[in-house]
Amino acid sequence: MEQFEGRIAVVTGAGSGMGRELARQLSRDSCHVAACDISAENLDETKALCQAEAPPGTRISTFVADVADESAVQAFAESVANDHETDHINLLFNNAGIGGGGSFVLDERSDWETTFNICWGGVYLCTRAFMPMLLASSEGHVVNTSSVNGFWASLGLGIPHTAYSAAKFAVKGFTEALLTDFRLNAPHLRASVVMPGHIGTSIVINSGKVLGREPKELTTEQVADLRTRISRAGIDVGGASDDDIRLGMQLQGEMFRDNAPTTAAQAATAILDGVRANQWRILVGDDAVALDALVRERPDEAYDQSFLDLMRARNIFNLAT
């Protein structure tokens, strides 16, 4: 699918970050876009940006839904058919995701399952819901956002990262399996797995909102729990007040967004270039490329201190910041 003009694309997580930039770049190429997000306010901003930039006649629709809710996803698919007056779509970007549920041992089950159900369940449910419309197209492409944490389940030795990593591994495996399934049973369809490194998005901030853990609203008990976890990671916060901890968490989210080596717009461009080139495996960012090579080179050491030492020696940490 070298050209997007006149095609119909569905984009989840389109209210911010890579999803918003995908919607903007697709619509600038005269691709009709059906955008979904959990935030109506963010979706309105995305729609306004797309409409301001898209050529006349480009249709932009929005729908508020939690992609982990099957009934909401089915309603989204029905709205796409109605809003775009179509029986088919050409592109499905399963991009929605949050972070959370880092520890299987310590974190609340609800946090773990919310993260997993959005990051993996959203991909599964949306692909199920839109498969009839993809099959009805003359040419279609499913683009699933995994992560470098879909091949390296870590943020470092002191930070458990179980729910997000498990979900992103599932997304990667599912997409790779679709390659054979489509080749045999729907040869007009393609699939790609996207594995970004550190991209400048608001995922950390948005995740706190979804999980009810916005820094400024953290309770005394939640702050105490954070102190324990931060200390376990080898960071001394004994002299920090509760408000210092809250502020630190807020700054962490802002720094993740503002200090990334790859912008959301750059990531979206890389993804769309990969789709045009029919790449089934799309690494986004120099940090993702370098980390992928190192994991393949030293798989047995991937979760040892020696691996982190190699990351430092090869400047991968600096590539990611």
Specify the residue for token string 């109605």: 82
- Res. 276: pLDDT tops 80: yes
Supply the pLDDT for residue 156.
Answer: 87
Mean pLDDT of the chain: 94
Q: How confident is the model at residue 109 (pLDDT cuts 50, 70, 90)?
A: very high
Average pLDDT on 167-174 reads 98
For 234-280, strand residue ranges (E) read 262-263
Q: Which residue has the higher pLDDT, 231 or 61?
A: 61
Taking a C-beta distance cutoff of 8 angstroms, is the pair 233, 158 a contact? yes
Supply the pLDDT for residue 283.
Answer: 98
Residues 58, 43: Cα–Cα separation, whole Å:
17
Category of 101 on φ-ψ map: left (φ > 0), alpha (ψ -120 to 50) or beta = left
Longest dimension (CA), the chain: 63
Q: Is the pTM of this model over 0.85?
A: yes
242-259 per-position pLDDT tens digit: 888 888 888 888 888 888
What domains does the chain contain, in order, with CATH numbers? 8-199+264-284 (3.40.50.720), 202-259 (no CATH)
Supply the pLDDT for residue 60.
Answer: 98
Q: How far apart are the first and last CA of the chain?
A: 33
Average pLDDT on 134-143 reads 98
Q: How confident is the model at residue 135 (pLDDT cuts 50, 70, 90)?
A: very high
Q: Which of the given ranges, 84-93, 157-166, 247-256, has the highest pLDDT on average?
A: 84-93
- Res. 195: pLDDT tops 70: yes
Residues 237, 228: Cα–Cα separation, whole Å:
9
Q: How confident is the model at residue 321 (pLDDT cuts 50, 70, 90)?
A: low
Average pLDDT on 188-211 reads 93
